[in-house]
Amino acid sequence: MDPELLKDRNAFIQRALSRPVVERKPEKRKNKDRDDRPEKKKSKLPPPKPASDRVDYKSMQGSSQYKFSILAKIVKYLKKRHQAGDYHPLTIDEILDETNQLDIGARQKHWLSTEALLNNPKVEVTDGFKFAFKPKYNRVRDKVSLLKLLRTHDLKGLGGILLEDIEEALPRCDSVVKALGSKITFITRPIDKKKIIFYNDADCQFTVDDEFKKLWRSVTVEGVDDGKIDDYLEKQGIKSMQDIGLKTAPVQKRRKANRKKRNNNFKKHNEHLQDILQDYSEK
């Protein structure tokens, strides 16, 4: 190569290196697209309210949970009064005063007096919008009325009465039941272990001969189901007790698929050879 050309080349390189060069990085495409688009106005949202750890249910006027908690407290208080021997009814203002619920709103108070307490099966309305507790056996007030109720059930063949229903209606139920002594008897129901009280009739206490017991035990009812026994007892004017055993749903058996339908849906092959093929199964 010509030495002069090499000399010019080296001089050009020296001049290029002596000049400072600032590199400019290419801008990203996203930033360019953002610049081209018109800026959207950001909607100003109100600042979030500070969350409080404590929820005030009394300030929630439309809360159904708050309304039914008031109703449950009232029914519980009326039951407690009844079991203590206070049978006189109270107005809605008296009930709210005695249950310390005078701070409820007018809407809840109107709902209680015109709808909730009127439709509650455990509340009785008397003397023009006065409310009292209504147990299942409202006439049971003492030992005499309880014994009369049990005797009536026994004569009509209705069986016994749940002890919890008597406790709900009778003040000081434990002492009254103990005072009756041998005039009543208890049976524990095997389903839920609840106690049932029966009238123990002294006239039915008699001895049975052994021969009669043998005849009674010799009668078999193996071929008769419970439904037929119930029908026979009802025709004789005797009501059989229900819900003694635990009811179980019958097990549903799976239906067997029809073989004919399977054969009809079977896909046949080589139908074009049915005139040529021969069957040698009989030979």
The residue out of 114, 133, 152 marking a domain boundary is: 133
Task: Note down the domain range covering 176.
Answer: 143-204
Task: Work out the pLDDT band at 53, boundaries 50, 70, 90.
Answer: very low
Confirm whether 189 is domain-assigned: yes
Taking the CB of residue 157, how many other CB atoms lie within 10 A of it?
13
**Does 269 fall in a domain?**
no
Q: Pick the last residue of a domain from 159, 180, 204.
A: 204
Residue 116 falls inside a structural domain: yes
Q: Residue 85: CB partners within 8 Å, gap ≥ 6?
A: 171
pLDDT digits (tens, 9 = 90+) for 173-231: 888 888 888 888 888 888 888 889 898 887 777 788 888 888 888 877 777 778 888 88
Are 68 and 125 in the same domain? Answer: yes
| Residue 122 identity (one-letter amino acid) | K
Note whether 129 and 67 are same-domain residues: yes
Residue 158 in any domain: the answer is: yes
Note whether 99 and 156 are same-domain residues: no
Q: How far apart are CA 4 and CA 237, in angstroms?
A: 140
Note whether 67 and 118 are same-domain residues.
yes
DSSP code of residue 282: -
27 located within any domain: no
* Within a domain: 42: no
**Cα distance between residue 90 and residue 133, in whole Å:** 10
| Count: domains in the chain | 2
pLDDT tens for each residue of 86-122: 888 888 889 998 888 888 888 888 888 888 888 888 8
- Separation between Cα atoms, residue 193 and residue 164, nearest integer Å: 12
Find out whether 165 and 153 touch, Cβ atoms under 8 Å: no
Shared-domain flag, residues 155 and 180: yes
Which of 33-42, 53-62, 72-81, 211-220 is modeled with the greatest confidence?
A: 72-81
Last residue of a domain, which of 161, 179, 204? 204
In a domain, 50, yes or no: no
In a domain, 225, yes or no: no
Give the pLDDT band of residue 38 (cuts 50, 70, 90): low
Short-list 73, 76, 79, CA closest to 170: 79
**φ, ψ (nearest 5 deg) of residue 281:** -70, -30
Structure letter (DSSP) for residue 125: E
CATH of the domain at 96: 1.10.10.10
Strand partners, 131: 90, 125
Distance CA 10, CA 16 (A): 10
Task: Report if pTM > 0.85.
Answer: no
Residues 135/165, Cβ–Cβ less than 8 Å: yes
